C-alpha cells in the first residue's frame, strides 16, 4: 500500500467503498423508479455526496444516533438500513422503514439508531443535541450526529443548537453538507460568511472545512471528532464541501439556477471515482472493488423487486400510532383530603415525586435551577438533583424544545418549563412538525414523553406578550395532549399522569390561580386525561369553563343560587382529549349550554364545544348555545382595558339569566 494509504486498512477502504456504492446504486435505482411512477411523492437523491455519510457513519456504533434532513437516503443506508427498506418506503409499502408513513423525507429506523429525517430545515441539529443530552444524563457513551445542508446554517436552529452543545459539552457531531445550493439558492448569495467550518470558533467548538468528496479525509476528521465526543470533550462542526449532481428532487428542472457545465465539472470529482483512482496502483484491491460493484448491484436489484412485491399499508391502519397506548392509572391516594395547599405547591409535589422515581427525568428552562423558576415550579429540586437534571437554559425556546424532542427519542424524559405560553410560540414548529408527529411517523416505534409547561391567562397588567392561552390552537394538533387544570387537586393529579405519559403533553397553568388553595390528597394522586370534572350540580343551565373561568363561573353560580337558579358546572380539565360525553350528559339534564372561555371565540375551544354539542346533542337543547368569551383583540396593559376584554363575574350572571329567559 502507498504512503497515501498507510494510515488506513484495506478493510476500511473496502468498507467505505461498499457504503458509497450502496448509496450510489440505490439512488440511481430510485431515480429510475421515479421515472416509472413507482414513487408517489418527492425523491431527493444523495448522488455526488456519498463520501460524507460513508466517512462519518463508519465510526458510529449501533447505539449512536443519527438525525437527518430531507436528503437523508445516504445517511440511512450508511447507518445500516437495508436498501430494500428504503426503496419500499419510497414505494409507500408496508415493509418500508417508516411503514409507508414517511416517503423520501421521513425515514425512521430507531432499531439501528436512524432517528428520523425531516422535511423541515434545521430540527435535526436540535434533536442531535437532545441525543447528546440523553447520552450525558444516561452516561452511556453514545454520540449524536446531525447531517444538514448549507441552507440550515442560516437558520436559527443552527445558532441555538451549536450554542447549547457548546455550553453543555454535548457529544454531538454537526455535519454540514455544503452542496453549494439550498434548493435553488446559491450558498454564495445566501450567506454573508462563506465558511461554515470557521463558524465553530464563534461557539467555542472545533470547526473544520474539508473536501466532502474525499472519503478518506472525511473518515479521518470524523474519526477524530467522534473520539473527542466520546472522551467528553464536546461537539465538533465539520463543513464538507460537496455537490449534488442530480436535481434538487427527481423531476425538477435543474438548469435555471446552475449550468450544465458546472454539473459536469463536479461529476469529474465523483467521490467513488476518486477513491478508485487513489487505489488504482493495487490490482488486488481494484479487483475487490469490482467485486463489490457486482455484489451491490445484485443487492439493489433484489431490494427493488422486494419493494415492488411488498404489500401496501391497510387503509384501516391510517390512524394508528397517533398516540401511545394508554397507561393504566396507578392506585391513588384518597381523592378527598382535609389538607389544603396551593396550586403551585400541588404541582411541585407531583414533579418532586416523578424526579425521585425516574432518574431519566430532567427539567429545562430559564431560571429553573437554583432560582427555582419564576413561579416556583422547581423550588428546592436543584439542591437535590443538580444542574444536569435542573438545567438553566439560554433564551433559546426553539432550541431547547427541539432538544427535548431528540432527548425523548433517545431514552430520557424532558420537561420544558417555558414560563409563559407566549414564549413557547418560538418553538411552535418543533412542537407541531416534530414532537407531535414522531410517534406516528415512526409507526409507534418511538415514544415522545415530552412535557411542556407554562403559564397562561390575563391579569397583573402583563399585556400582550405575557397573557396568551392558545390551547385552542394546540388542541388542533394530532398527537399532542393539552391539559388546563383549574384546581390544586386537579393540577397535581393531571401533572402526575402527564409525567408518566408517553405522549407529548402541553400543560398550561393559569397565572391568576397559582396561589389558589384547595384540598389536595397526600401521596400519589393521578387523574386520567379526557375525564371532565363536575364542579357543581344544577338543573337550569350547563356551564363549561376552563382554568380561571371555572372559578368565575362558580362565583356567579353562588350568586344565582340565592335566587333559585342552579348551575351544572363542567370543567373539561383537558382540551385534548375532550370529554364531550360528560358535557352532553349535563345538557340532556338542563337543556341549556353556556360556554365561558377566556380566549376569543373565533375558531377556538368554545367553538369546538358548541359544534360537538350541536352535532351530537341538538335535540336536547331548549335554547340556542351561548358563548361568553374574551374579546377578539390583543391583551391590553391598563387595568381598565384589561378588564374590558375578558369575561367578569357579572357578565356570567347576565349571560345565564339571558339564556334562561330564552
Q: Hey, which residues are catalytic here?
A: 466
Contact partners, residue 76, CB within 8 Å, separation at least 6: 68, 86, 97, 107, 109, 114, 117
Q: Let me know: does 475 contact 432? Beta carbons within 8 Å.
A: no
| Strand 517-519 versus strand 340-342 pairing type | antiparallel
CA 448 – CA 497 distance, rounded (Å) = 14
Q: Which three cell numbers stand for residue 361?
A: 427525568
The angle subtended at Cα 122 by Cα 118 and Cα 127, nearest 5°, is 75
The CB-side HSE value for 655 (13 A sphere, CA atoms) comes to 27
Query: Where are the alpha helices (H) located in 8-155, listed in sequence order?
Result: 10-35, 50-57, 73-79, 83-90, 123-138
Output the CA torsion 204→210→215→217 (10° steps): -80
Q: Collapse the DSSP code of 453 into the 3-class scheme (helix H, G, I; strand E, B; otherwise coil) and give the result.
A: strand
Contact partners, residue 287, CB within 8 Å, separation at least 6: none
Q: Which residues pair with 483 in a beta bridge?
A: 507, 574
- Give the burial string for 221-246 (b: 16+ CB within 10 Å, else e): bbbebbebbbeeebbbbbbbbbbbbb
Q: Collapse the DSSP code of 41 into the 3-class scheme (helix H, G, I; strand E, B; otherwise coil) and give the result.
A: coil
* Nearest CA-CA partner of 320 in 117, 98, 92, 500: 98
Q: What does the DSSP assignment read for 363-432? A: EEETT-STT--TTSTTTTHHHHHHHHHEEE--S-HHHHHHHHHHHHHTT-EEEEEEEETTGGGGGHHIII
| Strand 236-241 versus strand 207-211 pairing type | parallel
Query: Where are the alpha helices (H) located in 40-138, listed in sequence order?
Result: 50-57, 73-79, 83-90, 123-138
Contact partners, residue 376, CB within 8 Å, separation at least 6: 344, 348
* Nearest CA-CA partner of 25 in 58, 50, 42: 50
Helix (H), strand (E) counts: the chain: 23, 22
**CA-to-CA dists, residue 544 to 495, 557, 596, 605, angstroms:** 21, 12, 6, 11
Q: Let me know: does 84 contact 56? Beta carbons within 8 Å.
A: no
DSSP H/E element including 187: helix 187-190
Amino acid at each position: 500500500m502507498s504512503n497515501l494509504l498507510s494510515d488506513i486498512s484495506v478493510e476500511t477502504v473496502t468498507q467505505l467503498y461498499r457504503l458509497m456504492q450502496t448509496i450510489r446504486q440505490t439512488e440511481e435505482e430510485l431515480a429510475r423508479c421515479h421515472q416509472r411512477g413507482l414513487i408517489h411523492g418527492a425523491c431527493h437523491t444523495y448522488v455526488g455526496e456519498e463520501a460524507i455519510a460513508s466517512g462519518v457513519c463508519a465510526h458510529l456504533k449501533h447505539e449512536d444516533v443519527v438525525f437527518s434532513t430531507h436528503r437523508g437516503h445516504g445517511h440511512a443506508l450508511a447507518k445500516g438500513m437495508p436498501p430494500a427498506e428504503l426503496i419500499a418506503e419510497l414505494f409507500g409499502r408496508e415493509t418500508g422503514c417508516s411503514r409507508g408513513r414517511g416517503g423520501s423525507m421521513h425515514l425512521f429506523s430507531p432499531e439501528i439508531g436512524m432517528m428520523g429525517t425531516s422535511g423541515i430545515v434545521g430540527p435535526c441539529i436540535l434533536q442531535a443535541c437532545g441525543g447528546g443530552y440523553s447520552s450525558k444524563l444516561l452516561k452511556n457513551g453514545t454520540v449524536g450526529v446531525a447531517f444538514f445542508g448549507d441552507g440550515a446554517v442560516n437558520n436559527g436552529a443552527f445558532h441555538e443548537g451549536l450554542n447549547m452543545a457548546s455550553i453543555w459539552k454535548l457529544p454531538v457531531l454537526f455535519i454540514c453538507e455544503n452542496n453549494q445550493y439550498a434548493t435553488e439558492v446559491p450558498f454564495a448569495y445566501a450567506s454573508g460568511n462563506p465558511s461554515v467550518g470557521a463558524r465553530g470558533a464563534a461557539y467555542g467548538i472545533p470547526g473544520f472545512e474539508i473536501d466532502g468528496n474525499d472519503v478518506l479525509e472525511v473518515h479521518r476528521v470524523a474519526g477524530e471528532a467522534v473520539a473527542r465526543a466520546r472522551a467528553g470533550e464536546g461537539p465538533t462542526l465539520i463543513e464538507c464541501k460537496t455537490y449534488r449532481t442530480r436535481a434538487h428532487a427527481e423531476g425538477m428542472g435543474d438548469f435555471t439556477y446552475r449550468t450544465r457545465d458546472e454539473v459536469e465539472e463536479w461529476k469529474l470529482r465523483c467521490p467513488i471515482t476518486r477513491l478508485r483512482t487513489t487505489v488504482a496502483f493495487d490490482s488486488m484491491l481494484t479487483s475487490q472493488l469490482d467485486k463489490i460493484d457486482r455484489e451491490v448491484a445484485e443487492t439493489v436489484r433484489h431490494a427493488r423487486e422486494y419493494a415492488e412485491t411488498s404489500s401496501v399499508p391497510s387503509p384501516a391502519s391510517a390512524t394508528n400510532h397517533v398516540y401511545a397506548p394508554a397507561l393504566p392509572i396507578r392506585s391513588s391516594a384518597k381523592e378527598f383530603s382535609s389538607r389544603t395547599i396551593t396550586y403551585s405547591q400541588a404541582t411541585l409535589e407531583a414533579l418532586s415525586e416523578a424526579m425521585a422515581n425516574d432518574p431519566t427525568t430532567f427539567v429545562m428552562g430559564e431560571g429553573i435551577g437554583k432560582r427555582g423558576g419564576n413561579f416556583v415550579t422547581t423550588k428546592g429540586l436543584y439542591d437535590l438533583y443538580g444542574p444536569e437534571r435542573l438545567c438553566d437554559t439560554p433564551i433559546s425556546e426553539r432550541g431547547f424544545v427541539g432538544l427535548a424532542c431528540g432527548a425523548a427519542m433517545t431514552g430520557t424524559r424532558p420537561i420544558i418549563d417555558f414560563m409563559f405560553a407566549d414564549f413557547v410560540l418560538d418553538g411552535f414548529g418543533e412542537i407541531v412538525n416534530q414532537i407531535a408527529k414522531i410517534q406516528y411517523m415512526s409507526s409507534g416505534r418511538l415514544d415522545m414523553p415530552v412535557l411542556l409547561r407554562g403559564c397562561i391567562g390575563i391579569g397583573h397588567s402583563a399585556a400582550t406578550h405575557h397573557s396568551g392561552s392558545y390551547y385552542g390552537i394546540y388542541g388542533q394538533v394530532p398527537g399532542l395532549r393539552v391539559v388546563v387544570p383549574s384546581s390544586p387537586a386537579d393540577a397535581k393529579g393531571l401533572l402526575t399522569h402527564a409525567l408518566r405519559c408517553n405522549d407529548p403533553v402541553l400543560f398550561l397553568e393559569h397565572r391568576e390561580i397559582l396561589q389558589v388553595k384547595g384540598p389536595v390528597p397526600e401521596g400519589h394522586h393521578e387523574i386520567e386525561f379526557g375525564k371532565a370534572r363536575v364542579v357543581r350540580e344544577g338543573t337550569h343551565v350547563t356551564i363549561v369553563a376552563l382554568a380561571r373561568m371555572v372559578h368565575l363561573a362558580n362565583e356567579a353560580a353562588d350568586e344565582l343560587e340565592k335566587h333559585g337558579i342552579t348551575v351544572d358546572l363542567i370543567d373539561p380539565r383537558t382540551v385534548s382529549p375532550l370529554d364531550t360525553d360528560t358535557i352532553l350528559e349535563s345538557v340532556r339534564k338542563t337543556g341549556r349550554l353556556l360556554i365561558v372561555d377566556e380566549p376569543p371565540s373565533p375558531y377556538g375551544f368554545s367553538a369546538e364545544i358548541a359544534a360537538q354539542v350541536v352535532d351530537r346533542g341538538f335535540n336536547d337543547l331548549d335554547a340556542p348555545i351561548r358563548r361568553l368569551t374574551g374579546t377578539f383583540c390583543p391583551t391590553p396593559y391598563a387595568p381598565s382595558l384589561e378588564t374590558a376584554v375578558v369575561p367578569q363575574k357579572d357578565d356570567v350572571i347576565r349571560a345565564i339569566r339571558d339564556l334562561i329567559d330564552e
